[in-house]
Amino acid sequence: MIDIAEIVRQFAILAVPVLMAITFHEVAHGYVAYLLGDPTAKQAGRLTFNPIKHLDPIGALALFIVKIGWAKPVPVNPAYFSNPRQGMILVSLAGPVTNFVLAVCFALVFHALFWLFGQSASEQVIRVVQPVVYMAQAGVLVNIGLGIFNLLPVPPLDGSNILAGLLPPRYAQIYQQQSKYGFILLILLFLTGAVQKVIVPVIYGLASFLLPM
C-alpha cells in the first residue's frame, strides 16, 4: 500500500535541495559563459535563480528518486570564446563544481544545527529543527549526485564537453559525432542498474566525508 504521507514528507524534504542544485548548476554554466564573452544564456533568460527556467521534468524526477539527475541545458555558443575548447571546459566544469560547493554548504548547515541544538534541545525545538537537518542531509547527497553524474563523459552531460576539450581536435570531432547516441546510453545505464550499482555507492562514499552516515 502506498504511504501518501511518507511521499509528501520526502517531497517536502527534497524539494528545496533539488531545486537549488538544479538552479545553481545551470546558472553557474551560464554565468561562466557570460564572463567569457558569451551572452547567449543571458539573452535566453537563463541567468536567473527561478528554478522553473532550468527544470527538465525527467532529470528532476530522477533526482527525487535516485539522487542523480540533470537539468535543462543552458544554451552556450563557444564561438564567442577567445579559446573555444578551453572555454567549454571551464563552462562545463562550473556546474559540477558549484554542486560540490553547495554540498559542503549543506554539510556546514547540518553540523551547525547539531552544534547549536545537539542533545540538549527540547522536544519542541527538535520537531522544528529535524526537518531542516534532513533537508541538509538531502542537500549533500543531491548535490554530490548531480555533480558526479554530470561529470560522466556521456553526451549531453558536462563530462562529455570536458573530455572533448581535452582530446586532440581530430579525436574530439569523432567523439562529438557520437553525441546523438548519448541519451540512449544514459537510458541503458539506468535500465541496467549501472548507475545505481556503481555511481550511488561513490556518492554515499563521498558524502560520508561530510556527514555521519
Residue 182 falls in which region: left (phi positive, over 0), alpha (psi -120 to 50) or beta: alpha
Considering the candidates 17, 18, 26, 91, report the single residue annotated as catalytic: 26
Number of domains the chain is built from: 1
Global pTM reads 0.88
- Within a domain: 182: yes
Host domain of residue 70: 4-207
6 is a catalytic site residue: no
Phi, psi angles (nearest 5°) of residue 38: -100, 110
Give the pLDDT score at 33: 97
Q: Exposure of 68 by Cβ count < 10 A (0-12 exposed, 13-18 middle, 19+ buried)?
A: buried
Give a yes or no: residue 196 inside a domain. yes
Q: Which pLDDT belongs to residue 212?
A: 79
| pLDDT confidence of residue 194 | 81
Cell of 74: 543552458
Mean per-residue pLDDT pooled into runs of 10, the chain (213 residues)? 69 87 95 97 93 82 68 91 96 97 96 76 64 91 92 91 94 87 82 82 91 77
Specify if 213 maps to a domain: no
